[in-house]
């Protein structure tokens, strides 16, 4: 038998958490608005013709690949076609069991090179290094399977340039993506990492690795994710970037200073969230070493990637991502309230713990608890509905705000009906999709808790959006 | 229906009002988004039409036709001024440029740009700065000069670019005066300014300035000296080549590696045994760029260096030497002094073969 006081305390607890989370998000929203308006002002100016463009830092584009035979050729083509004065593309085949190695070797006339392999970061053995006889700036590393992080470390070891860019093998970087992402490195010596924005390739028209037309997919799951990504990137990342507290740079598109990454030991291979873990560790180490640094985000450096259209794949992805969040935070626990932690240690990290990491636990527990309280007769049906109403209304508000930021800034989706569809999706995603994703994230949390083993995220690519000539 | 509201506890009430306020804001934002999209489409269409009209007018004017245009409206100013600047900067012929300037005067672009310089919106001000630089009116010099010390880098740099457009000779002095204080000017844009001013005008003053500059500025700017005349660049390199700061010496060597003269080669060669590996790395790169067959022994010595970067660059330099054939390189591989040099030479040679 529960006392009315206890029920009241539970309600109060939910209210406090609810208020904390949502005011955090609304503050992030404000911060993102400021960041966007500042950025748009400078981007407009930097769009003026650059008279001399030979001073960009050279970049190694690292493409870890595991069973990517369907999309790898187009991805490499798009990376070779990037509008950038000096870059090399390093494809790392992480012991694929399909024909990835053969497909790449044949498509780009790769020949084995007796390259001395400098193992600055320890990796699984490298079997061979190939260079293309057609594209001098294309390199292929064939190594034993060791996971994505291990493949990236091998790529870092082989890379020749001071900056490296990580790109997923199923992704397409916008033609000027590298030029835009490198700007912070040119303008500020303290910048050690910069993330780009990830957008959905589903529904777009892409030919031979070049984006021809932006569109929306028909698949409802992909549509929900588009709104979700907008929310995550436009105010999640931009908001934190303003105070140098960005904790995530997506593995699908990030640019890093190689010496900084090598100094902190490269990617960790014992986590499935190696991209986030690296960024959190960079913050932690730089602060421990009293180094001046910046980790930044460029909202118009775009990378187009295929979003899962099947529930099972989406579930696996979200489970893996949340496990990655759990591991990244616990592996860098020292950053939390560290005396030199700054905004990142005292605000962003705790926010990440309470809202992102524990969020799904509290959210699902909240739903279940309210349902149980109602079923046991402690609260009225109408009270239960009010809780649900408030949660859905605030969720919708956040999604719509992200859409507004998009409209105010980048207008990625050109047609008016695109915006209408996205508006409807932003309303609908609160009725089932968000709760489902919260449940998947809870599963990820449980897997982390019970230390289940992870590996490369397995995603079946159809590559329909990516046409060949 | 609203029994929870009248009878329940304050927490439920708070939740209820959070929901109501959020939904009200959602509705408001939806209306705002739809309005923004309609406005965006309308503005795009209006700008497209205006751009087409003004473009054909500008082309007609360049061809010597009399054109009639309605007065320039505020909403199309940005599109028109962008179009004008692009066309102006695409035209090289002095007569055509003058015609473009006449057009700007005739249709009020100049006056409007001066007014827009006082706008609060940064984007509008930047456009106006760029346009005033292109209009070439000497009277605007003092107005533009006031923006040189703006707290925003992008504004000060745009003002500097405008001054260079206006009068490159006169712009040298204010530019040099601000090289130290405006360290955050993007490197590519700064190099663009140097290029636009031109080596003939810039060489001597920039070299003199570099000789008086602080060590930080020397390190930051020495690489730009490849854009000026070799004699002045060499003058600066000679002055700093034996500095105690390894970064300054490395910068000098980098610069010398971009001046393909016997004098610069002679200055680089003795630095093969420099105590700093940073300098030795640059020496290897420079010898690869401007060296010849006589430098093979020096590069082989660097290929045995205790620092890996020096070895890597030395091997790459050997392969890039102009007058070495495959047989020479093969012999070198056979007699390579250590395992790394052997492997690295083999790799570089194979790469050269594959790519060729």
pLDDT(A65) > 60: yes
* Residue bearing the bigger pLDDT, A120 or A118: A120
Task: Give the residue numbers spanning the domain of A293.
Answer: 1-42+170-456
Is B22 in contact with A393 (Cβ distance < 8 A)?
yes
The sheet carrying A171-173 orders its strands as A110-113, A126-132, A138-143, A87-94, A59-65, A163-167, A253-257, A191-200, A294-305, A171-173
Per the domain annotation, does A195 fall within a domain? yes
| Residue A90 · residue A158 · CB < 8 Å | yes
Contact A131 B189 (CB under 8 A): no
Whether residue A52 and residue B195 make contact (CB cut-off 8 A), yes or no, is yes
Q: Name the residue with higher pLDDT: A30 or A140.
A: A140
Structure tokens at B306: 């205790």
Is the pLDDT at A234 greater than 90? The verdict is no
Distance in angstroms (rounded) separating the CA atoms of residues A92 and B344: 21
Interchain contact, B12 vs A423, CB within 8 Å: no
Does residue A454 have a pLDDT over 60?
Answer: no
Between A118, A186, A382, which is nearest B187 by CB? A186
Partner-chain contact A383 B186, CB within 8 Å = no
State the average pLDDT over residues A298-325: 90
Cα B247 to chain centroid, rounded? 22
Mean pLDDT confidence for A265-284? 93
Chain A positions touching B39 (Cβ under 8 A) are: none
**pLDDT higher than 90, residue A208:** no
pLDDT in tens, B49-94: 888 888 899 999 888 887 777 777 777 787 888 888 888 888 888 8
Contact A45 B158 (CB under 8 A): yes
Which residues in chain A are closer than 8 Å to B30, comparing Cβ atoms? 400, 423
Question: Does the residue A50 lie in any domain?
Answer: no
Interatomic CA distance for residues A219 and A22, integer angstroms: 29
Which residues of chain A have a CB within 8 Å of the CB of B40? 407, 411
Q: Calculate helix-pair angle for B277-290, B246-256, nearest 10 degrees.
A: 0
Overall domain count for chain A: 1
Residue that wins the pLDDT comparison between A21 and A225? A225
**What is the model's pLDDT at position A169?**
76
Q: Print burial letters for B142-155: b (CB count within 10 Å at least 16), e (below 16).
A: ebbbebbebeebbb
Give the Cα separation of B188 and B194 in Å (integer): 10
CB contact under 8 A, A12 and B11: yes
The more confident residue out of A5 and A82 is A82
Comparing A47-56, A163-172, B189-198, the range with the smallest average pLDDT is: A47-56
Query: Considering the domain boundaries, does residue A469 fall inside one?
Result: no
The whole-angstrom distance between A132's CA and the closest CA on chain B is 7
For residue A28, tell me if it sits in a domain.
yes
To the nearest whole number, what is the mean pLDDT of chain A? 85
pLDDT per residue over A327-386, tens digit each? 999 999 999 999 888 999 999 999 999 888 998 998 888 888 888 888 888 877 787 788
> Three-state DSSP class for A210?
strand
Q: How far is A392 from chain B (nearest CA, A)?
A: 8
Q: Which SS3 state, helix, strand or coil, does residue B241 take? A: coil
Instruction: Tell whether the model's pLDDT for residue A45 goes beyond 70.
Output: no
Please give the pLDDT value at position B354: 66
Which pLDDT tens digit goes with each residue over A378-432? Answer: 877 787 788 888 888 888 888 888 888 888 777 788 888 888 899 999 989 988 8
pLDDT of residue B1: 44
Pick the closest to residue B12 from A384, A213, A117 (CA basis): A384
Residue A63 located in a structural domain: no
Nearest CB among A54, A56, A382 relative to B4 is that of A382
Burial class of residue A367, CB neighbours in 10 A (0-12, 13-18, 19+)? middle
Q: What is the structure's pLDDT at A108?
A: 92
Q: What is the DSSP letter of B121?
A: S
The answer to whether A51 contacts B192, with C-beta atoms less than 8 Å apart, is yes
Give every residue of chain B whose pLDDT is below 70, as ranges.
Answer: 1-8, 337-338, 352, 354-356
Contact A15 B354 (CB under 8 A): no
Residue A114 has pLDDT above 50, yes or no: yes
A284 pLDDT higher than 60:
yes
Task: Give a yes or no: residue A6 inside a domain.
Answer: yes
Which of the residues B3, B17, B184, B355 would you substitute to probe the A interface, choosing the one with the greatest number of A C-beta atoms within 10 Å? B355
- Collect all residues with Cβ–Cβ distance below 8 Å to A369 and sequence separation of at least 6: A10, A14
Asked if the model's pLDDT at residue A44 lies above 70, the reply is no
Residue A448 within a domain: yes
Residue A43, min C-alpha distance to chain B (Å): 9
Q: Stretch A69-81: mean pLDDT, rounded?
A: 85
Distance from CA of B259 to the nearest CA of A (A): 17
Q: Closest partner residue to A404 among B19, B29, B188, by Cβ? A: B29
Instruction: Quote the ipTM score.
Output: 0.71
A124 in a domain, yes or no? no
> How many percent of chain A have pLDDT more than 90?
39
In the 8-state DSSP scheme, what is residue A147?
-
Q: Which residues of A touch B194 (CB under 8 A)?
A: 52
Q: How do residues A256-271 score in pLDDT, each as one tens digit?
A: 999 999 999 999 998 8
């Amino acid at each position: 038998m529960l006392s009315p006081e206890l029920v009241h305390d539970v309600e109060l607890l939910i209210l406090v958490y609810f208020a904390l989370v949502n005011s955090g998000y609304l503050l992030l929203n404000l911060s993102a608005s400021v960041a966007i308006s500042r950025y748009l002002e400078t981007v407009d100016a930097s769009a003026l013709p650059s008279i001399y463009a030979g001073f960009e830092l050279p970049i190694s584009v690292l493409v870890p690949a595991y069973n990517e035979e369907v999309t790898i050729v187009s991805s490499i083509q798009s990376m070779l076609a990037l509008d950038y004065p000096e870059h090399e593309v390093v494809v790392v085949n992480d012991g694929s069991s399909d024909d990835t190695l053969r497909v790449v070797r044949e498509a780009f006339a790769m020949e084995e090179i007796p390259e001395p392999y400098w193992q600055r970061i320890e990796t699984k053995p490298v079997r061979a290094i190939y260079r293309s006889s057609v594209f001098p700036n294309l390199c292929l590393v064939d190594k034993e399977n060791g996971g994505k992080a291990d493949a990236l470390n091998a790529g870092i070891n082989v890379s020749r340039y001071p900056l490296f860019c990580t790109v997923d093998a199923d992704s397409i970087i916008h033609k000027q993506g590298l030029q835009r992402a490198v700007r912070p490195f040119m303008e500020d010596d303290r910048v050690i990492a910069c993330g780009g924005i990830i957008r959905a390739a589903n529904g777009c028209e892409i030919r031979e690795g070049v984006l021809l037309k932006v569109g929306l997919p028909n698949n409802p799951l992909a549509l929900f994710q588009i709104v979700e990504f907008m929310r995550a990137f436009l105010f999640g990342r931009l908001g934190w970037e303003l105070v140098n507290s960005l904790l995530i740079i997506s593995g699908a598109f990030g640019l890093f200073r190689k010496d900084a990454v090598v100094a902190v030991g490269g990617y960790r291979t014992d986590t499935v969230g190696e991209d986030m873990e690296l960024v959190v560790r960079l913050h932690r180490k730089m602060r421990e070493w009293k180094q001046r640094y910046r980790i930044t985000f460029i909202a118009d450096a775009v990378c187009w990637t295929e979003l899962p259209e099947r529930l099972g794949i989406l579930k696996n992805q979200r489970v893996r991502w949340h496990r990655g969040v759990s591991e990244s935070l616990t592996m860098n626990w020292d950053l939390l309230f560290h005396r030199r932690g700054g905004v990142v240690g005292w605000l962003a990290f705790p926010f990440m713990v309470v809202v992102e990491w524990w969020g799904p636990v509290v959210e699902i527990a909240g739903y279940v608890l309210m349902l149980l309280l109602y079923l046991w007769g402690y609260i009225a049906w109408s009270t239960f509905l009010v809780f649900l109403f408030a949660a859905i209304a605030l969720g919708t508000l956040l999604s719509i705000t992200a859409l507004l930021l998009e409209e105010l800034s980048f207008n990625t989706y050109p047609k008016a009906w695109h915006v209408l569809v996205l508006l409807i999706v932003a309303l609908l995603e609160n009725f089932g999709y968000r709760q489902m994703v919260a449940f998947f994230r809870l599963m990820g949390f449980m897997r982390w808790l019970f230390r289940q083993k992870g590996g490369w995220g397995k995603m079946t690519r159809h590559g329909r959006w990516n046409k060949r000539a | 229906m609203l029994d929870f509201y009248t009878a329940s506890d304050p927490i439920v009430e708070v939740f209820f009002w959070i929901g109501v306020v959020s939904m009200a804001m959602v509705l408001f934002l939806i209306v705002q988004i739809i309005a923004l999209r309609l406005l965006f489409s309308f503005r795009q269409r209006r700008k497209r039409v205006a751009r087409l009209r003004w473009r054909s007018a500008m082309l007609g004017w360049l061809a010597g036709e009399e054109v009639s245009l309605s007065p320039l409206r505020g909403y199309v100013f940005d599109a028109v001024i962008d179009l004008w600047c692009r066309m102006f900067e695409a035209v090289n012929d002095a007569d055509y440029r003058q015609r473009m300037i006449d057009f700007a005067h005739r249709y009020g672009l100049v006056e409007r740009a001066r007014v827009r310089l006082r706008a609060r919106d940064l984007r509008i001000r930047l456009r106006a700065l760029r346009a005033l630089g292109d209009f070439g009116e000497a009277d605007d010099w003092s107005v533009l000069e006031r923006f040189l010390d703006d707290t925003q880098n992008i504004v000060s740099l745009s003002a500097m670019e405008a001054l260079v457009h206006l009068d490159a000779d006169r712009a040298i002095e204010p530019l040099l005066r601000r090289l130290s204080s405006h360290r955050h000017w993007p490197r590519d844009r700064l190099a663009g300014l140097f290029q636009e001013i031109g080596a003939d005008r810039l060489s001597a003053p920039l070299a003199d300035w570099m000789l008086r500059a602080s060590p930080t500025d020397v390190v930051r700017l020495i690489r730009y000296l490849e854009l000026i005349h070799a004699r002045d660049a060499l003058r600066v390199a000679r002055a700093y080549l034996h500095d105690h700061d390894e970064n300054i010496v490395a910068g000098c060597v980098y610069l010398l590696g971009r001046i393909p003269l016997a004098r610069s080669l002679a200055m680089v060669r003795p630095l093969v045994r420099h105590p700093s590996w940073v300098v030795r790395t640059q020496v290897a790169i420079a010898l690869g760029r401007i060296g010849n067959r006589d430098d093979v022994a020096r590069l082989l010595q660097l290929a045995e260096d205790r620092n890996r970067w020096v070895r890597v660059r030395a091997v790459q330099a050997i392969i890039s030497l102009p007058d070495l054939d495959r047989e020479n390189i093969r012999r070198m591989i056979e007699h390579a002094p250590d395992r790394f040099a052997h492997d690295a030479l083999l790799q570089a040679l194979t790469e050269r073969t594959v790519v060729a």
